[in-house]
Amino acid sequence: MRDARERLHDMVDAIDRVEQYAARGHASFVADELIQVWIVHHLQILGEAASQLGRDFHSEHPVVPWPQIVAMRNILVHDYFGIDLDEVWNVVAHELPDLKAALVAMLASLGPD
């Protein structure tokens, strides 16, 4: 079973992978289905890792919007044909940088690996 540190690393890794293709910009995201699938897939991983941390961990670290992350994962997984790509891009462009910073800080606060 993966511990909290591993799951936080999974989340940061997923964000890193999203950033690889998000760096190409919104126009590339809109035009390229492979980039869309790549980003959605890694957002699903991010949300799954967040959900597996559990409510107690979430309560101990309220700076992260855990319910919204898990809810987005559920939409991406269970309502695939209802995905709003504009909303996905908004999250990628405006929410992930702050989330990544919070996760990195959280990992640092947990001490060395």
List the catalytic residues: 73, 78
69-76's contacts with Cβ under 8 Å and 24+ in sequence apart are: 69/99, 72/43, 72/47, 73/43, 73/44, 73/46, 73/47, 73/48, 74/47, 76/40, 76/43, 76/44, 76/47
